[in-house]
Amino acid sequence: MATSIAGSRAAGDEYLELLKDCLTGAMYDESAWKLIDGSYTGRFRITKEIRKWFLKALAKRGLRLVKANEFDAEKRAEGMDWPLFGYTMVGRKRLDQLQLAIEQIAAEGIQGDLLEAGVWRGGASLFMKATLNRLGLGDRKLWLADSFEGLPRPKQAADTKHRGHDLSNCDFLKVPQEDVVALFERFGLLDDNVKFLKGWFCDSLPTAQTGPLALLRLDGDLYESTMDILKPLYSKVVPGGFVVVDDFYTWAGCRDAIHEFRETHQINAEIHRIDASGAFWRVPLASSSAARAA
């Protein structure tokens, strides 16, 4: 049974709070803007704020920039939109949960690296790095795994049976590794403990040279991607460590993968709800190695 942690928002560190607003794009009205393709129907109003040269550049690519809605702060906090100017799709509540988890890792002395599989523009990973540094844990390795060229074309029935789950052609989701590196540099957070694992999860993760993991964050949307993360990495999550699933309540394929994996490996740890989409559980302290040997 899922329980809610809503309302347990971490607070008190102005730098991290400001970072959340910045990374989620919540401080910019422009976050509500949307890019749509050449099939523009006139349903949306082109914003006046856009400079002419920018519109022309977009038009050349068959794109228009439109203001679909006024900024919806609640939607952004829940991470239920794709912010045009934010650095993470994850909303504030999922960043709050990451902060709480890392604070618990520090307070309880849980050893291990942190890994996000599915980083997009890198904002959630960057927030993890900032929190680690803030807590004096900057020597922990932070691994960022992504194709850096978007989602794969779904192959498995668990994904193809869901309409709209093929996002392999979605350019918005294709963010090159150089852009993520540049983001870390821009925020002064790039150092030798930030490690990149480029490639499809099924290729990059089984041979990844990570140590034990204190936190594993899954954000690959699909059943296939979720399984490709869990199979090689779950057994690396230490007792007391966190398994955070970004898409648990919003992507049926991801949820199916989680249920199937937990059932196969007899994982009974309670699933906690974060917000409209995210969930997490902690590997029990007394978890047997048999259950964890995925």
Ligand X SMILES: C[S@@+](CC[C@H](N)C(=O)[O-])C[C@H]1O[C@@H](n2cnc3c(N)ncnc32)[C@H](O)[C@@H]1O
The footprint of ligand X (CB under 6 A) covers 88-90, 118-120, 123-124, 146-147, 150-152, 173, 200-201, 219-222, 225, 228
d(CA 245, CA 229): 11
- CB 57 to ligand X: min, Å: 24
Report the relative pairing of strands 64-67 and 113-117 from DSSP bridges: unpaired
112 or 118: whose CB is closer to ligand X?
A: 118
The token pair at 249 is 């309540």
DSSP 38: S
d(CA 12, CA 131): 13
111 or 250: whose CB is closer to ligand X?
A: 250
- CB 110 to ligand X: min, Å: 22
Handedness of CA 146, 152, 156, 160 (dihedral sign): positive
- CB 152 to ligand X: min, Å: 5
88 or 210: whose CB is closer to ligand X?
A: 88
- CB 184 to ligand X: min, Å: 13
112 or 123: whose CB is closer to ligand X?
A: 123
Strand segments (E) across 163-276: 194-198, 213-218, 237-245, 272-273
218 or 271: whose CB is closer to ligand X?
A: 218
Dmax (CA) of the chain: 62
99 or 287: whose CB is closer to ligand X?
A: 99
The token pair at 282 is 């902690």
How much is the CA Rg of the chain, to the nearest whole Å? Answer: 19
- CB 118 to ligand X: min, Å: 3
Q: 3-state SS of the chain: helix, strand, coil percent to 5?
A: 35, 15, 45
The token pair at 77 is 């906090």
- CB 16 to ligand X: min, Å: 16
10 or 205: whose CB is closer to ligand X?
A: 205
- The SS3 assignment for 279 reads strand
- CB 290 to ligand X: min, Å: 28
d(CA 142, CA 112): 10
